[in-house]
Structure 1
Amino acid sequence: MTIQVGENVPACTMKVMGDQGPTDITTDELFAGKKVVLFAVPGAFTPGCSMTHLPGYVVNADKIKVAGVDSIVCMAVNDAFVMDAWGKAQNAEEIIMLADGNGEFTTALGLELDGTGFGLGHRSQRFAMIVEDGKVSHLNVEPGPGVDVSSAETMMALL
């Protein structure tokens, strides 16, 4: 079942790239006491994700943070090495590149995508949410291909 507005994000541990390599980060560390915009993509380096979704957040990061957001998080069911390389390739210095390598958080949110028909395995649906102190205040899931309801511009209008 998909997480709903008003619910707390499930407890989970994922990875980010640290100075010494992949480092654990918990949902509590990401969300407790913070206002966070998290957006998820089906895969790093894929066309829509690289040409539209992540770049929208990169160019609007300052505006989003001025609106009271503590962190912007980009999540994919990829490993920390891929997320780190993708973030560097996209100049995403202001964005936490979150690796949900096994898809555990994605599954706990109920937002998994079966991409096996395309040779992609199990991934995340494209979505964005605003989380305030661990509780979802907005959730926008793309109904199909493209970047619309989960874009940086759409989420900025909700802040």
Structure 2
Amino acid sequence: MTIKVGDKIPSATLHVMGQDGPEAVTTDELFGGKKVVLFALPGAFTPTCSARHLPGYVEKAEEFKGKGVDSIVCLSVNDAFVMGAWGKDQQVGDKVQMVADGSGQLTESMGLTFDLSDKGLGKRSQRYAMLVDDGVVKVLNIEDAGAFEVSGADTMLKAV
């Protein structure tokens, strides 16, 4: 079943790239007591993700903070090394947290996976964006497969 507005983000352990390698971070640490914009995408370094999705959030980070958003989280079913390298490549700095759901644990528990095995990519995250307030989903915009219309930074800025 797909997560919906009003649901709590499931408990999961994810990873971020730290100074000395991957570091565990829980969903409670990411979302507890905070207003967070979470956006997810099928994969780091992929065309739409690199050219449009992530850059929009980097460019608009200050506008989100001005609207009371504590953090912006980019999630993908990739490992922490890939997410860290992609963040450096995209020059995200501290504007967006690059979070790896390497095993797809959180993505699967939210019902937001899709299977790209026929293209050699395995199970990935659907493209979506959500506003999470103290761990509870307040806004959820899920894209149709292949689309980039409702999960971008401009759309989410209007929803915050």
Normalising to structure 1: TM-score of the pair?
Answer: 0.99
Describe how 1:139-158 pairs up with structure 2 within 5 A.
139-158=140-159
Match in the other structure for 1:112: 113
Q: Which amino acid aligns with 2:149?
A: D
Q: Distance in 2 between matches of 1:36 and 1:54?
A: 15
Deviation at 1:144, TM superposition (A): 2.7
Q: Distance in 2 between matches of 1:127 and 1:133?
A: 19
Identity rate, percent: 57
Q: Distance in 2 between matches of 1:121 and 1:145?
A: 16
Q: Distance in 1 between matches of 2:61 and 2:119?
A: 32
Deviation at 1:91, TM superposition (A): 0.9
Q: Which amino acid aligns with 2:10?
A: P
Secondary structure of the residue aligned to 1:88 is helix
Structure 1 residue ranges (4+ consecutive) displaced by more than 6 angstroms after TM superposition: none
Secondary structure of the residue aligned to 1:84 is helix
Unpaired runs of at least 5, structure 1 = none
State whether residues 126 and 145 of structure 2, in contact with CA within 8 Å, keep that contact through their aligned partners in structure 1: no
Give aligned pairs, total: 159
Match in the other structure for 1:127: 128
Normalising to structure 2: TM-score of the pair?
Answer: 0.98
Deviation at 1:146, TM superposition (A): 2.7
Deviation at 1:143, TM superposition (A): 1.4
Match in the other structure for 1:99: 100
Q: Distance in 2 between matches of 1:134 and 1:50?
A: 27
Match in the other structure for 1:70: 70
State whether residues 48 and 146 of structure 1, in contact with CA within 8 Å, keep that contact through their aligned partners in structure 2: no
Unpaired runs of at least 5, structure 2 = none
Deviation track 1:105-128 (CA, whole Å, cap 9, x = no partner) reads 000110001010111101000000
